[in-house]
Structure 1
Amino acid sequence: MEPVSEMAGSRAATNALLAGLRADNLSPAAVMRFLGLAAHRSLLQATRRPRALAELTALHAVLYALAAGRRPGRRWVAASWGLAASHLGLLEHRTRLAHADILTLLRGNLPALPGASGRVSGAVAVGLDLADGRLARHQGTTSPFGDYADTFADAAFWMWLTLRHEPSRTVRVAAIAAWALPVVTVTAVALRRGAMPERPRPVLLRPAAVLQAVIALRHLVRR
């Protein structure tokens, strides 16, 4: 597998790594090489954006302090920092986090914070989701980083809230189909094709958004 240029675009670099992995038929040695190259590129991209890394670390330090004594608490926050820090290359030309990115990361860490199981937590997550989207469009700060952070924040929070607090088996299955299944499917397709697929973007109907409202309302009115 040829080394990936540091100046290559994030998507092109990812596709190059996946193509090499597929060419080697997902062998254990290829997987280890893939992980090593991916980690190396992530480190390079993070060091090229010291301000974004510092902002990310400061935000998670505050969340880490607030998560003390909770479950999943600090482990959740640490995992969030690791995922975000390893994907700073998706900021592309930007060197710092946008305000919308901070709101997205905050939403993804709600399960680790005080009041996470409260009746209004779903409504808070919906409000943060609407706010970060509107802010990103208004300030022109949309980026692949914000896009993927939004996807994983949704999956993390709503899967956690549903599996922990939702009594309806039907709603739990719907949540898995809405948030976990797409992540697994995209990963499987990427490994099979050796390239990242384009994610579908429904314009008129957004089942996951509707499901968010249903779960948030059920959680709000549940005794």
Structure 2
Amino acid sequence: MSVSDLADSRAATNALLGMLKQDRWRPLAVARFLWQATDRSARQAARRPRALAQVTALHCLLLALARRRGRGWLATSWTLSALHLGLLEQRDRLSAADVLTLVRGNLPVTAVGSSRWSGVLAITLDLADGRLARQRATVSPFGEYADTFADAAFWTWLTLRHEPDRTVRAAAIAAWAVPVVTVTAVAVSRGTMPERPRPALLRPAAAMQGIVALRHLLRR
């Protein structure tokens, strides 16, 4: 059975990482890894036309609301979302929690993105989508990874765009980047996907989100 035929996304990722490690990360092996990963992602998206249509409609709506601003941002968000639809596993459509997560990640292209309340709104949406996913039993790897991407995208943008203090900027970026870099490094070195960071490891990132949001809210 080829990697493209594996239904379980984690098993497919582990298979790809295992082959990459076995080939000692040679340039040809890296190119093969990227091709096979993209091919599987495209096949998984094609098997979920309803979810793909939802992702497309949501990003078209955001594009209309943004009045054509942030087209590159939205194009990147759509591509990442579409290529990760295989992480929905057994579901063939987005949940309400998934939609809230994608909206949060695209706040920078909306009118509210630069408002004083944008950080508070992002935290509210973050809490709401997690609670909604648990209440409706729609927790999935797609939602978990979309949540990570949404946090990284929005908070990095808000910090670099609106946080004037260099020390706060450096501390915030470090708090958000360290878990991601660590997980990626472990995955590449071991040739298998590690478990997601424990909540205790993410507390510094959550604390920095609160600090940046509060400073942005109170800033004149």
TM-score range, shorter chain: over 0.9
Consecutive unaligned residues of structure 1, counting only runs of 5 or more, are none
Q: Deviations over 1:38-94 (max 9, x none)?
A: 111001111111111110110011112223353xx1110110000010010100000
Counterpart code for 2:63 = Y
Structure 1 match to 2:31:
32
Counterpart code for 1:30 = A
Q: Check if 1:209 corresponds to 2:180.
A: no
Consecutive unaligned residues of structure 2, counting only runs of 5 or more, are none
Residues in 2 aligned to 1:196 and 1:170: alpha-carbon distance in whole angstroms? 33
Residues in 2 aligned to 1:102 and 1:138: alpha-carbon distance in whole angstroms? 15
Q: Check if 1:49 corresponds to 2:38.
A: no
Could you tell which deviates more after superposition, 50-59 or 182-191? 182-191
Structure 1 match to 2:87:
90
Equivalent residue for 1:167, pick from 153, 164, 169? 164
Q: Check if 1:100 corresponds to 2:97.
A: yes
C-alpha root-mean-square deviation of aligned residues, in Å?
Answer: 1.6
**Alignment length, in residue pairs?**
220
Counterpart code for 2:103 = L
Compared CA separation, residues 111 and 174, structure 1 to 2 (3 A): same
The equivalences for 1:179-190 within 5 A come to: 179-190=176-187
The equivalences for 1:44-193 within 5 A come to: 44-70=43-69, 73-193=70-190
- Does the 8 A contact of 2:14 with 2:193 survive in 1? yes
User: What is the Cα deviation at residue 205 of structure 1?
Assistant: 7.6
- Does the 8 A contact of 2:4 with 2:36 survive in 1? no
- Does the 8 A contact of 2:106 with 2:154 survive in 1? yes
- Does the 8 A contact of 1:64 with 1:78 survive in 2? no
Counterpart code for 1:15 = N
User: What is the Cα deviation at residue 166 of structure 1?
Assistant: 0.7
Counterpart code for 1:192 = S
- Does the 8 A contact of 1:101 with 1:132 survive in 2? yes
Could you tell which deviates more after superposition, 199-208 or 40-49? 199-208
Counterpart code for 1:32 = A
Could you tell which deviates more after superposition, 32-41 or 192-201? 192-201
Residues in 1 aligned to 2:73 and 2:106: alpha-carbon distance in whole angstroms? 7
- Between the aligned residues of both structures, percent identity stands at 68
Residues in 1 aligned to 2:90 and 2:215: alpha-carbon distance in whole angstroms? 41
User: What is the Cα deviation at residue 182 of structure 1?
Assistant: 2.0
Counterpart code for 2:217 = L
User: What is the Cα deviation at residue 179 of structure 1?
Assistant: 1.4
Residues in 2 aligned to 1:174 and 1:204: alpha-carbon distance in whole angstroms? 15
Could you tell which deviates more after superposition, 38-47 or 182-191? 182-191
Structure 2 match to 1:9:
8
Residues in 2 aligned to 1:160 and 1:217: alpha-carbon distance in whole angstroms? 16
